[in-house]
Amino acid sequence: MKLPLSFSGRNKYFAIIAAVILILVAVVVLRSSGDEGSTYVLPFDVDRAEQIETELCAFGPRYAGSEAGNQAADYIFGRMEDAGLTNVHYDGFEDWVFDIETAELSIVEYGPAGYLPWGTTAEFVHKIDFVCQGHTGSHIWEDFTDDLEVVYVGNGTDDARYQSVEGKAVLVSNDGPLSGTEMTLKAHEFGAAANIIYNVAVHEELDFPPIFKGTFPENRNYPDIASMMVSKAVGDQISADIVNGNSKLRLNLRSVVQKKELMVIIGEVEGKDPSKCVILGAHYDSCYNTVGAIDNGVGVTTILELGYQLAKHKPEYTIRFALWAAEEIGLFGSTYYVGAHEDELARGCIAYLNFDMNNVDLERGNSQPIAVWKESFLKDCNRIRDNMLDQSPELKKYNVYMYLTDLAGSSDQAPFVELGIPATSAWGSGSWEYHTYMDTTDRLNPESLQLAGRVQGTLALELAKGI
């Protein structure tokens, strides 16, 4: 015969049942919120990400102020809404952009006396053989009297070689300490009509292609001088036929530099306490000479896929998604946004997490670096990385690593860091085609986008939940 439980025994019995119920309720709550504790790692739909990347690149070069750039902005806006983000809106501002209306470059042979042209010996292809530099000035060709002599000045460090460049084109190699901006400003200072950067140093494996770079003078006082980079092969030919021959350079370059309205695109997963936020950001513009699949189509794609995933959660603090305009010509979008919202961000922005070229080309290496400007983020990212690799062992072929740095300059995290906001930035590896016409989806590795996406996306979720 079973004896009844004593009063104290009953209490223990019910206490055990209550404890079990509380544990079960806690598990249900955690699972319903999409979080399974410190081992939870955000999922990532690689197929959807690849579709987004393909659709984005179909617009063509998304350079700041272009029609393709505006179309891409509208596409991003629509994707944010489709993902279920709230408060999706444009934050517009005006700034200086440029547009290349005409760009023609050739070598013209002249007679022995050098007075009259005999004929064209070489014509070069815009964007493939030569690329204009950011906010370049113009050189309008009307007749042969506008053909240019060329002076080779080495790597630009010897002022004596600039003494005879007035009214001529400067050919300057990029194997010295000067930046492209410094080379252009120096040629302009000495009265040259054009500055031609001769690529002898960057990406030998691609035969030294012409690379776009922005021009960054103080106060955006852009010099009125035609500025471009040529491939090594073109530079070699200019040197042989013009500098050391009887030919001249025929340059017809019409560039329009003007102010246009540009758009930052914002969407949110609204938190219970909207006074604080975590921001994930990437620039959506490309250089004018490329569709920018890796720089920075992959950053945009990763952000949008994270939007689909994070919209399923109910965080304590707001998760904000920001797609920046005009990074390639001077961080214009992120700099504007931080300045316009400085007080709000200084008070309530917990962290800014950046994505820029976070593609890993496995034929050229396996590294996925994430730069971190806060030691606690370093530990968190390492933990999340380890959990991700445990849950997805097929990703162990990648070397996902974090490192501490001040994160000044170089991408859109810079204005946030300057304001004192903790930040991270995910780069990639193997993108030799950076800023060239070859930056297409041919080198895209969709699987690799989840590496930075899941690590930084999970970090954003933890920070927004106050974990």
**Which residues span the domain enclosing 164?**
107-257
Residue 298 and residue 207 share a domain: no
- For residue 294, the SS3 value is helix
Average pLDDT of span 27-32: 37
Q: What is the mean pLDDT of the chain?
A: 92
Tokens of 248: 């001249």
How many domains does the chain fold into?
A: 2
Q: Cis peptide before 155, with omega less than 30 degrees from 0?
A: no
Indicate the burial class of 441 (C-beta count within 10 angstroms; 0-12, 13-18, 19 or more): middle
DSSP 293: I
Contact 426, 403 (CB under 8 A): no
What's the pLDDT at 114? 79
What's the pLDDT at 240? 96
Residue 266 and residue 126 share a domain: no
Domain boundary among 257, 282, 317: 257
Q: Is residue 166, in this structure, part of any structural domain at all?
A: yes
Q: Where are the beta strands (DSSP E) in 330-455?
A: 349-355, 367-372, 399-404, 423-426
What's the pLDDT at 120? 85
Residue 263 and residue 222 share a domain: no
Residues 276-301 have pLDDT tens digits of: 999 999 999 999 999 999 999 999 99
Domain boundary among 204, 238, 257: 257
CATH number where 174 lies: 3.50.30.30
Whose structure tokens read 């410190």? 38
Q: Is the confidence at residue 36, as pLDDT, over 60? A: no
What's the pLDDT at 338? 98
Residue 271 and residue 248 share a domain: no
Q: Indicate the pTM of the whole model.
A: 0.90
What's the pLDDT at 115? 86
Q: What are phi and psi of 213, to 5 degrees?
A: -140, 145
Q: Buried b vs exposed e over 213-228: b needs ≥16 C-beta within 10 Å?
A: bbbbeeeeebbebbbb
Please choose, from the candidates 102, 145, 138, 118, the residue with its C-alpha nearest in 3D space to the C-alpha of residue 241.
118
Average pLDDT of span 385-400: 98
Q: Where are the alpha helices (DSSP H) in 104-255?
A: 180-189, 232-238
Indicate the burial class of 114 (C-beta count within 10 angstroms; 0-12, 13-18, 19 or more): exposed
Q: Is residue 12, in this structure, part of any structural domain at all?
A: no
What's the pLDDT at 26? 40
Q: Using 50, 70 and 90 to split pLDDT, how confident is the model at 430? A: very high
Residue 112 and residue 248 share a domain: yes
Q: To 5 degrees, how large is the angle CA 397–CA 389–CA 366?
A: 25
Residue 334 and residue 460 share a domain: yes
Residues 264-277 have pLDDT tens digits of: 999 999 999 999 99
Contact 454, 384 (CB under 8 A): yes
Evaluated on CA atoms 178, 231, 410, 218, the torsion sign reads positive
What's the pLDDT at 361? 98
CATH number where 388 lies: 3.40.630.10
Average pLDDT of span 327-343: 98
For the chain, the first-to-last Cα distance in angstroms comes to 53
